[in-house]
Structure 1
Amino acid sequence: MGKLSELDLSMDPFADGPIGSSAENLHSAKVTRVIAKLSEVAIKTGKRESCELKYAQSIADDPDWAVAQRDENVSFYRWQGNYWKPQTKHEAQKHAFTWLETNEPGLVSAKLATQCSQSAQFKAAVLPGQPAADIVPLQDCWIVVNADGSLSVRTPDRSVGVTYQILASLNAAGATYVPAPVPGGTFFHSFLLTSLPNLEVRNLVQEYCGYTLLNDTRFQVAQVWQGQGSNGKSVLLKIMQKLHQKSAAIRLDNMEKFGLQSLVDASLAVAAETPKRGINEQVLKACITSDPVVIEAKQRNEFTYHSTAKWIIACNRFPHINDETDGVWRRLQIIDWNVQFDKRNRIERLDELIIERELHHVVNWCLEGLQRLLRRGSFDEPQSVLANTMREKESSNTVLAFSEDYSVGYSEGGKTLAKDAIYEKYLSYCEECGHTPCGNVEFWSRMRAGFPHLKETKKREGGRQKRHVNLAFFQPEPEDMTTQEEINEAFK
């Protein structure tokens, strides 16, 4: 209107008096330009609204797009031909931007692409439900694990909500599939024999690696790969990470707020750095067992999530765990990687060579282990692995180690021991072993957890009342022990 007000009144088409033809033409041209400008703004505004609706409808009509809602958060998924891939916010907005370039090139902007993407969330189809069958989604086919442990080959189906992928191909032909054993002479075969020489332990690792291919956490266990460097554990860890389309790297001392956001849609969780202390044991247990955990993601509301990732914790030295209830310990299989290789016997870039040339052998090895596990119905932990767990449990819990080493048990015949005498013995034990002792209150809290029938009484000693408990040390008496002199005599 500012432009019109500056026009000469003689050019006003609504003014009284004659208008010259030249003035009339000039005025018409200016009015036309003003009306066109105003119309362009109106059309753009109208088109912006219809752009969002048009894009949203295109997503609704496209069977390759779907959304999943978690509390107040909505995420896009896009069918890749063999699985539903979760879309990042950037990927979803980029798709909308590309659509605008093709369909509305005059209106393209990052802001409009964002608005289109957000609007499409209201129209997109809902992500299909999880498969009822045990499916291993490979790049070129799906492998179905049947109830009897046999394997079937299946064509990927977008009506099934598989949201992860195993990055390997098998070129499987026919309706059934039998995993081929790892050929001798391959890098992977040599690696297994040298890094995991114990057959029982190797079989357990194989079964767990096979377990990671499933889309649930039915066995509710994690594996801990422990040992000093140059022993092969990092090689297998990198191979397994490469095998999974999405693996989450988790810090065990940062499992709150944003620390768990990478778990969403991950099929494998890896903790390659373990702190000495500060592990949130309850959250770790919940993640291993697929119990609900609260996840916070940047620029999103927090939401509740049930993780289906399987856990591999790699460490040089086992972290300190305070668990008194066995809630965490019974979820852990501790594997010692004891073989160390010097530089002369090491193959440089071994993990890369196996990934580049032999990943199909790794998948077959995993499938073979998975078959064995499902047919048995549970893990069969070797005695050495059970011993590892007990060793680390005792090491983390100095009270338990003290009780074991001193054969503490319930007393008989009404006999008791003074609480302060037991605690003093515990302090001496920790000093001798180089352990950091618990405080008095913590010590007795752990003793009560280990001895639920502990009874406390008061007795007067030396004119003072002392607290006693129904415990005793069941160590061999001195006369029952072989002396050093007797040993020397036997070898004369």
Structure 2
Amino acid sequence: MGQDPNDILRNDGAAALRRQFDTSARIVRLPQGNDLPALKIGSDQDIAAQVRILLESIHGKMVADSGILYAWNQRFWGEIGQSDVYAVIKRFDGAALPEGRCRTVRLSKSKLQSIEHLLYRLCEVPGFFDAPAKGIPCRNGFIVIDDEAACLKPHDPDHRNRYVLAGDWTGELLTEPPEGSELRRLITGCFRDDPEADLKKALLQEIAGGALIGATRSLASPKAIILLGERAGNGKSQLIDMFRGLVPSHAIAALSPAQFSDERLVVALFGKVLNMADEIGDRAIGSERFKAVVTGEPITGRAVFKDGLTFRSQALHVFSANRLPAFRDGMDRGVRRRLIVLRCDRVIPEADRVPGIGRIVADFELHLLLAWAVQGALSLLRRGHFDEPPSSRDALNDWARISDSMTEWLGDDDGLTVSGNTSDRVRIEAVYECYRSWCVSMRIKDTGILDRPKFVRRIKAGEFDGLSFIRKANSKEVAGLWINHSRVAPVSGK
């Protein structure tokens, strides 16, 4: 939903308002009375065809994809809202019909909806935005990027971009922001005195670039980013504000991972290039849905009073957190492969803090931010994946142990031993009972305890080193495991 210009000015400042106008479609007077084209037969299909002609005279060439109408406005494919479509259709209420028919068109609710539906069918190009050009649309052109270089090309509808940045690209590439800039102050201040400062700043730069090029479709293994800062004043909220200011608001969603499982909410990711949420909280996350969204697999959402929509999310997901949530179905390897934790451990001294610095960078140093992000995109594409600091991998492993009851259970030497010896075998019933008993003794909530099919599936998938699943005619066994002090005897082994 759009914002009133006064709200944008009051909440986000003058620079944000200028960006909004820079990235908006042009406004043209609607035709009235005798300006309307003559109808041939006056059917709904005839009116829909004339509405299309009028809308294209106002907005430019149109296409419809997934039930949404877009028009090319010389820079990007902008969405045409239903209210704009209805405004043109309603001009035909009372329009003269050809000789021999009723004298005028009479619009009812059902007729209006029928014309709208036929208009979408006339303009429909399924999958039109599924494979946009690899690059970054900015105000003065389209930055075409491959793993070797970046160059500026004129805007072209075949780029199929649905947004444009509010800034111009000068051709400059920045590995480090210049001395004295607020961008440098922000990035350096977040990681000063950190032994991994250079690695973390480089990762942050790649995240900025990944947001602009569509990392989900550009990388073989897309990932979601968690900015983790357990103490206040670490700058992560300012980094989030900076990213939000880099991309136009209509290309950003604000869903937390826990909201991915809600089909009424997940549809908000359609057509977005960036999804960001502050303080994602401790609501448990659905593992399978999370993996599908992050990797761009087909997902289905359903907006209120709308038909279901199946689409692939193209957004890069960046979240901030004070503490890390749990995964309802366990944090398996598939989940861990799709996550990066960037630790923001430094508490910035009060004297060094600049209120609203993230927004200041986006509003007044967008040219620097863009040059820095383009360099990040080049680095990311050359490597083919994000470059993670060792602390990110350590944080992810710690998260897995804490949030995944199965991983934590296997690490408890008092209850069992993972020997890796294939001659050590225990029936699956006994193994699962050992796991459940351990979870109860540790007071783990029911939502954190895997049911037996999921438990078995993870062992079958070979997620845990040293364990394997053995199926026999009369039994199912886990090899490589010994249950300590168990009343249930192992099948073989010690």
Distance 1:365 1:413, change over 3 A: closer
Partner deviation per Cα, 1:259-283 (whole Å, 9 max, x = no partner): 1121111001123242424322211
Kept in 2, the 8 Å contact 1:57–1:120? The answer is: no
Superposition pairs of residues 66-77 of structure 1, within 5 angstroms: 66-70=62-66, 74-77=67-70
Structure 2 distance, partners of 1:60, 1:440, is 55
Give the one of 266, 272, 275 matched to 2:272: 266
What's the counterpart of residue 188 of structure 1?
183
Structure 1 distance, partners of 2:183, 2:118, is 49
Structure 2 distance, partners of 1:458, 1:186, is 60
What's the counterpart of residue 291 of structure 1?
297
Superposition pairs of residues 295-310 of structure 1, within 5 angstroms: 295-310=301-316
Superposition pairs of residues 49-448 of structure 1, within 5 angstroms: 51-59=47-55, 64-70=60-66, 74-94=67-87, 96=89, 117-124=116-123, 126=125, 133-148=133-148, 150-170=149-169, 172=170, 178-179=173-174, 181-197=176-192, 198-215=197-214, 217=216, 218=219, 219-228=221-230, 229-245=232-248, 246-255=251-260, 256-321=262-327, 322-323=329-330, 325-404=332-411, 406=413, 408-410=417-419, 423=434, 427=438, 448=459
Partner amino acid, structure 2, of 1:367: V
- TM-superposed CA distance for 1:114, in Å, is 6.1
Kept in 1, the 8 Å contact 2:65–2:124? The answer is: no
Structure 1 distance, partners of 2:363, 2:309, is 38
* Structure 1: gaps of 5 or more residues: 1-42, 473-492
- TM-superposed CA distance for 1:349, in Å, is 1.9
- TM-superposed CA distance for 1:309, in Å, is 0.7
Structure 2 distance, partners of 1:444, 1:119, is 50
- TM-superposed CA distance for 1:52, in Å, is 4.5
Kept in 2, the 8 Å contact 1:394–1:401? The answer is: yes
Partner amino acid, structure 2, of 1:238: D
Structure having greater relative contact order (Cα 8 Å, sep ≥ 6) = 2
What SS does structure 2 have at the residue aligned with 1:78? strand
Alpha-carbon RMSD: 4.2
Distance 1:92 1:179, change over 3 A: farther
Distance 1:108 1:272, change over 3 A: farther
Partner amino acid, structure 2, of 1:232: G
Partner deviation per Cα, 1:291-318 (whole Å, 9 max, x = no partner): 0001112232102101111111221110
Question: Which piece of structure 1 moves more, 83-92 or 112-121?
Answer: 112-121
Kept in 1, the 8 Å contact 2:137–2:164? The answer is: yes
Kept in 2, the 8 Å contact 1:166–1:243? The answer is: yes
Q: How many residues in Structure 1 have an aligned counterpart in Structure 2?
A: 414
Structure 2 distance, partners of 1:94, 1:122, is 19
Kept in 2, the 8 Å contact 1:423–1:440? The answer is: no
Structure 1 distance, partners of 2:482, 2:403, is 32
What's the counterpart of residue 488 of structure 1?
none
Distance 1:116 1:410, change over 3 A: same
Distance 1:151 1:425, change over 3 A: closer
Partner amino acid, structure 1, of 2:143: I
- TM-superposed CA distance for 1:82, in Å, is 1.0
Distance 1:337 1:467, change over 3 A: same
Kept in 2, the 8 Å contact 1:59–1:124? The answer is: no
Structure 1 distance, partners of 2:291, 2:436, is 33
Partner deviation per Cα, 1:368-406 (whole Å, 9 max, x = no partner): 111111122222222111111111011112442343363
Partner deviation per Cα, 1:8-31 (whole Å, 9 max, x = no partner): xxxxxxxxxxxxxxxxxxxxxxxx
Distance 1:469 1:382, change over 3 A: farther
Q: Does 1:452 align with 2:468?
A: yes
Kept in 2, the 8 Å contact 1:457–1:469? The answer is: no
Distance 1:294 1:468, change over 3 A: same
Kept in 2, the 8 Å contact 1:206–1:365? The answer is: yes
- TM-superposed CA distance for 1:77, in Å, is 0.3
Partner deviation per Cα, 1:190-214 (whole Å, 9 max, x = no partner): 1101113311122112112211111
What's the counterpart of residue 480 of structure 1?
none
- TM-superposed CA distance for 1:167, in Å, is 3.4
- TM-superposed CA distance for 1:288, in Å, is 0.8
What SS does structure 2 have at the residue aligned with 1:361? helix
What's the counterpart of residue 29 of structure 2?
none
State, as a whole percentage, how many aligned pairs show the same letter: 18
Structure 1 distance, partners of 2:241, 2:132, is 30
- TM-superposed CA distance for 1:429, in Å, is 12
Partner deviation per Cα, 1:419-438 (whole Å, 9 max, x = no partner): 69x9499849975xx86697
Structure 2 distance, partners of 1:258, 1:440, is 26
Superposition pairs of residues 449-488 of structure 1, within 5 angstroms: 450=464, 451-452=467-468, 454-455=478-479, 466-468=488-490
Structure 2 distance, partners of 1:412, 1:133, is 51
What SS does structure 2 have at the residue aligned with 1:254? helix
Structure 2 distance, partners of 1:458, 1:284, is 33
Structure 1 distance, partners of 2:223, 2:296, is 10
Distance 1:373 1:184, change over 3 A: same
Structure 2 distance, partners of 1:88, 1:397, is 44
Distance 1:455 1:352, change over 3 A: closer
- TM-superposed CA distance for 1:408, in Å, is 3.6
Distance 1:216 1:96, change over 3 A: farther
Structure 1 distance, partners of 2:284, 2:311, is 23
What SS does structure 1 have at the residue aligned with 2:143? strand
Kept in 1, the 8 Å contact 2:436–2:449? The answer is: no
What's the counterpart of residue 24 of structure 2?
none
What SS does structure 2 have at the residue aligned with 1:348? coil
